[in-house]
Structure 1
Amino acid sequence: MPNDSQSATASNHTEPDSGQPDFSVEMTQARQRLHAVSSLALQQFEQALSAYQSSNSRLAQQVLSQLQRAHDFEVAMDDHCLDMLNHTASDRELRLVLALLKAISDIEQICNQNVQIAQQVLLNTATPPSVKQLAAIDTLATPVGTMLTLALAALQQSSTAKAEQALDMAATVNQCYGAILRHNLADNGQQPDQLDAVLGVNWVARALERIAEHSVNLARQAIFMARVSRGQSARVELQPRRPR
């Protein structure tokens, strides 16, 4: 029968196993969750644009129905990250967790903007956009979609190269967005029955511009996380202020 000293030794031997998961394991799980919600956001983006371009109300409703799923992803990720914060052991781990929280917030906002695009399909059933208006939106949606794809891939793959490619596209997006607004402002001789379509185009363009802005945030977060993971803890502004 073991004496008290032996029992204490055995107890001390098992003490390091505190039941807390390893940080690297938790980070792997967090990245898996991030990949899942990223895939949802990208799919929703493509469906929202397809619904708008084809005036497909059924597809638009499908986009709206996915918003709750995106919200559930964010809540699950928040809970997971808060659990990680309870036992982060270093500044590096803390910075990675905070960057993940910011990333999931941006992704949910992208999903919200996808819904804004889909809602225009349901609002403008009587006055769908013209071929010319659809072409204008497509000139903006194409670089925004590429930018979003690159930013999400940069996060998932810790790729600074893809993040920088996404950031390089911001100027193109701004030019396309500005061109749409200027054209609609100058073309003020629209027939009354076309005003709803014009307003819808403006709303869709605005949603696309906001998706691009959140993609910029995601790209910056990807660069930040990649540097922190390599031990380069240079300060990076994760969510820059909007220009005034």
Structure 2
Amino acid sequence: MSNHTEDGAMANHPDTPHQHTSKQYDHELLDIRNRVLTLGGLVEEQVESAVASLVEGNVDLAERVIADDYKVNSMEVAIDEECTQIIALRQPAARDLRLVVAVIKTITDLERIGDEAKRMARIAVDLSNYAPRRSQLSDLQHLAKHVRGLLREALDAFARMDVDEALRVVEEDHQVDQEYESITRQQITYMMEDPRAIPIALSIMWSARALERIGDRSCNICEYVIYYAKGKNIRHVSIEQVAADLRRPQ
């Protein structure tokens, strides 16, 4: 798991929220950013453990992931409440408001990534009664490694509010989509060849789908980074156009 929370580095970064006359306000804005990264670290652990439980057939680990999901939910609720307090009491404007909005949206995606990890853990429990082919687990493991990398890079981009890194993550997501589609086609072939393989193949497909969704939500986090840093909403713009606009000399 990456360590994304670096108070000193964050406080001195040019994209840190502007200094205000109220030091308490500055502390509140910095605190919600750090708490997002703490939540991100917990979610990373959940995803890593869920994947390991699938690949290793480790039911105990899977059940621990399921049991720990409440930690993700509780942390998401607490950060959301803090953001609500900031909006109500501080009435942030411009860049500060974009930060609070980006935090609220980011924690929602992180909570849903936690849900996908729990979903994979439940699949791991079901799959423990079967014997998947080594190639099935190998392909899933490769996709999981790629997706975990995207999540880590998305959190790093958030930690530094790094637009270039955020854009790289968004551009890389198509590779995850291609791997997911490849796994899906392979599992359909297995089911057509042998109906007895259907339960295993479906479990692999659902797990791959959960990983693909984690990749999508990692991209969402990067879109919020770009929104905060540049004031641009890129959700409905092609990645080629976004890259061209952001990389165009000012």
With the shorter chain as reference, the TM-score category is 0.7 to 0.9
TM-score for the superposition, normalised by structure 2: 0.81
Q: Which amino acid aligns with 1:159?
A: D
Q: Distance in 2 between matches of 1:187 and 1:193?
A: 9
Determine if the alignment matches structure 1 residue 110 to structure 2 residue 110.
no
Q: Is the 8 A contact 1:23 1:88 kept in 2?
A: no
> Residue 192 of structure 2 aligns to a residue in which SS?
coil
Q: Counterparts of 1:110 and 1:23 in 2: how far apart (Å)? A: 30
- The residue aligned with 2:165 is 162
Change (3 A) 1:21 1:29: same
TM-score (norm 1): 0.83
In structure 2, the residue matched to 1:68 is: 70
Query: 3-state DSSP class of the match of 1:189?
Result: helix
Alpha-carbon distance change, 98 to 55 in structure 1, aligned in 2, over 3 angstroms: same
Residues 1:202 and 2:205 are matched in the alignment: yes
The separation in 2 between residues aligned to 1:167 and 1:64, in whole angstroms, is 29
1:90-105 matches, cutoff 5 A? 90-105=93-108
* Residues 162-217 of structure 1, C-alpha deviations (whole Å, 9 max, x = no match): 21221121111011011111122233334344221111001100000100110110
Q: Which moved more, 1:181-190 or 1:141-150?
A: 181-190
Aligned runs of 1:162-201 on 2, under 5 Å?
162-201=165-204
Pair 1:236 & 2:233 matched:
yes
Q: Structure 2 counterpart of 1:84, which letter?
A: I
**Is the counterpart of residue 152 in structure 1 residue 152 in structure 2?**
no
Q: CA deviation at 1:58?
A: 0.5
User: How far apart, CA to CA, are the structure 2 residues paired with 1:84 and 1:128?
Assistant: 51
Identity %: 27
Q: CA deviation at 1:157?
A: 1.9
Q: 2:42 maps to which residue?
A: 40
Tell me the alpha carbon deviations over residues 4-60 of structure 1, each in whole angstroms, 9 at most, x when there is no partner: xxxxxxxxxxxxxxxx87332111110121111000011111111111100000000
Q: In structure 1, the residue corresponding to 2:191 is in which secondary structure?
A: coil
The 10-residue stretch of structure 1 (81-90 or 200-209) with the greater mean CA deviation from structure 2: 81-90
Q: Tell me the SS of whatever aligns to 1:188.
A: helix
Q: Closer, same or farther in 2 for the Cα pair 1:85/1:128, shift >3 Å? A: farther
Equivalent pair of 2:190/2:197 in contact (CA under 8 Å)? no
Partner residue of 2:223? Answer: 220
Note the aligned Cα RMSD (angstroms). 1.7
| Residues 206 and 91 of structure 1, relative CA distance in 2, 3 Å threshold | same
SS at match of 1:236: coil
AA aligned to 1:46 is: E
Deviation of residue 122 (structure 1)? 0.8
Secondary structure of 1:97's counterpart equals helix
Amino acid at match of 1:224: Y
Q: Give the unaligned 5+ runs of structure 2.
A: 1-21, 238-250
